Amino acid sequence: MSALFRISLPDGSVREVAPGTTPADIAAAIGPGLAKAAIAARVDGELRDIMRPFDGDSALALVTARDEAEALELARHDLAHVMAEAVQHLFPGTQITFGPATDDGFYYDFAPKDRPFTDDDLPAIEAEMRAIIGRNEPFVREVWSREQLIETWNKQGETFKAEWAAELPDGE
Q: What is the pLDDT of residues 11-60, one digit of tens each?
A: 999 999 999 999 999 999 999 999 999 988 999 999 888 989 999 999 99
pLDDT tens-digit series, residues 128-138 = 999 999 998 88
Domain with CATH 3.30.980.10 in the chain: 69-141
β-pair type (40-43, 58-63): antiparallel
Given this model, what pLDDT does residue 11 score?
A: 96
Region of residue 12 (left: phi > 0; alpha: psi -120 to 50; beta: else): left
Q: pTM of the predicted model, to two decimals?
A: 0.74
Are residues 117 and 83 in contact, defined by beta-carbon separation less than 8 angstroms? Answer: no
**Fold assignment, 5-63:** Ubiquitin-like (UB roll) (3.10.20)
Structure confidence by residue, pLDDT tens digits, 141-172:
788 888 999 999 999 999 999 999 999 887 66
pLDDT digits (tens, 9 = 90+) for 56-100: 999 999 999 887 777 788 888 889 999 999 999 999 999 999 888
Q: pLDDT band at residue 2, thresholds of 50, 70 and 90?
A: low
Question: In the chain, which segments carry CATH 3.10.20.30?
Answer: 5-63
Contact (Cβ atoms closer than 8 angstroms) between residue 166 and residue 150: yes
The pLDDT score that the predictor gives to residue 169 is 83
Q: What pLDDT sits at residue 67?
A: 79
Task: Domain 69-141: state its class.
Answer: alpha beta
Task: Please tell me the predicted confidence (pLDDT) of residue 80.
Answer: 92
Provide the pLDDT for residue 10.
96
Beta strands 58-63; 95-98: pairing state: unpaired
